[in-house]
Amino acid sequence: MEGLARRRFLMFLASSPLLGCTAAGRLLAEESLDAIRLPEYLIKSPAEALDVFDFHTAAKRTLPPAHYGYLATGTDGNETLSANRRAFEDIYLRPMRMVDTSDVSLETTLLDERLESPIVLAPVGSQRAFHADAELASARAARAQEHLQILSNVTSNPIEDVIAARGKPVWFQLYPTSQWATAQMMLERAERAGARVVVLTVDLNSGSNRVLLGQYVRTDDRDCSSCHGAGGVEDFLRMTPMYEGSSVTFADFDTSDMTWDYLDRIRRATSMKIVVKGVVTREDAASAVDAGADVVYVSNHGGRAEASGWGALESLPEVVEAVDGSVPVMIDSGFRRGTDIFKALAMGADAVCIGRAYIWGLAAFGQPGVEKVLEMLKAELSMVMGQMGARSIAEIGPQHIGIRR
């Protein structure tokens, strides 16, 4: 009983602006440290979520081991995966007080497209592995929450259906193969469907060593042939809508001979604008701009490409410097909170993509889960903008951050 009364008192204080400067406030802070050590809490509905990590816990409980492994995996010992999150800790925020932030706007523009927020859904392939409604659920959530969506060419749903579900064109992401005919077929189809932008992913040309995925797969003894086909990856790919009708083979995914000329080839084949996804160095940023990229997209594939041990946020400054305002810069890999997004914007990114965070929502609850993730990230970004004294995306700048030495 006494515990209950104290708890009520603390809850009262928690809703008071005085919290933080009272003895009870300190007590509460200690309690919240205890909370960090609480066992994982399983939310039963999207409304219960306090941050996107609540969806991670729920997704992990829901998914079969191999599918969870596909979602979670990094490469080798997950060095880059860890570095992506660690990088945010090296940047702190510099709040500016007493600015009228009663009206904070997240609106921005990207490639002449007006966006309600700079938060974009990154291309994530094979979403049927996470929920029966797959990319259609993500598209409906993107529509409801007004976000740009990038669709993987390994989509489980046809691009035409996804665009109908979003009610607007998506950006189309392309994995190159060594057979140009396959790329050409997809580019033509995407453009016919209404896509105006192609996102060329360039960070898997030499493969990737996904150890964690392998570890999860060997704990999963289900018979997967009804979804994956009996003939391995080739069968699986030919069963996906964008590869249908192609004669793609596993060997075609060896694109280790690809160079910047590939952009020229794309440009001759399509009028879509070209985004290069997977750039992390100043050298490649400069080459991408020289080769005519319309956007440079900083990404290490969420730690799924190479074990560089280098966080995406750490590579952002040199890319921004090399691009020098000539084209927009986007970024992903490790973004989980509004503060993460704010830091990248302050460092010069024009838009931030999220991958696993929305897929956790999809896996746990389908469309409502994705919607809640997007809603929370917007609310968090809006709050941190208020705290930093930035009323618009354009007002966010280097003055709002510092680097921990």
Upper half-sphere CA count for residue 330 (Cβ side, 13 Å): 29
Note the residues at the interface with ligand FMN (CB under 6 A). 70-71, 84, 122-125, 152, 154, 173, 201, 277, 299, 301-302, 304, 332-335, 354-357
Closest CB 53 distance from ligand FMN, rounded Å: 12
Q: With respect to ligand FMN, which residue has the nearer C-beta, 302 or 338?
A: 302
Q: With respect to ligand FMN, which residue has the nearer C-beta, 66 or 390?
A: 66
Q: With respect to ligand FMN, which residue has the nearer C-beta, 25 or 234?
A: 234
- Residue whose CB is nearest to ligand FMN in the complex, by number: 355
Closest CB 42 distance from ligand FMN, rounded Å: 22
Closest CB 205 distance from ligand FMN, rounded Å: 12
Closest CB 243 distance from ligand FMN, rounded Å: 12
Instruction: Give the 3-state secondary structure of the chain.
Output: CHHHHHHHHHHHHHCCCCCCCCHHHHHHHHHHHHHHCCCCCCCCCHHHCCCCHHHHHHHHHHCCHHHHHHHHCCCCCCHHHHHHHHHHHCEEECCCCCCCCCCCCCCEEECCEEECCCEEECCCCCHHHCCCCHHHHHHHHHHHHCCCEEECCCCCCCHHHHHHHHCCCCEEEECCCCCHHHHHHHHHHHHHHCCCEEEEECCCCCCCCCHHHHHHHCCCCCCCHHHHCCCHHHHHHHCCCCCCCCCCCHHHHCCCCCCCHHHHHHHHHCCCEEEEEEECCHHHHHHHHHCCCCEEEECCHHHCCCCCCCCHHHHHHHHHHHHCCCCCEEECCCCCCHHHHHHHHHCCCCEEEECHHHHHHHHHHCHHHHHHHHHHHHHHHHHHHHHHCCCCHHHCCHHHEEECC
Closest CB 143 distance from ligand FMN, rounded Å: 20
Closest CB 174 distance from ligand FMN, rounded Å: 8
CA–CA distances in Å: residue 179 to residues 82, 174, 248, 254 = 35, 13, 8, 10
Closest CB 330 distance from ligand FMN, rounded Å: 10
Q: With respect to ligand FMN, which residue has the nearer C-beta, 145 or 387?
A: 145
CA–CA distances in Å: residue 23 to residues 30, 31, 385 = 11, 13, 29
Q: With respect to ligand FMN, which residue has the nearer C-beta, 360 or 395?
A: 360
Distance CA 230, CA 64 (A): 19
Q: With respect to ligand FMN, which residue has the nearer C-beta, 122 or 163?
A: 122
Find, among 293, 268, 292, 267, the residue nearest to 278 by Cα. 293
Active site residue 301: yes
Identified catalytic residue from 56, 67, 147, 301: 301
Q: With respect to ligand FMN, which residue has the nearer C-beta, 55 or 389?
A: 55
Catalytic residue annotation? 301
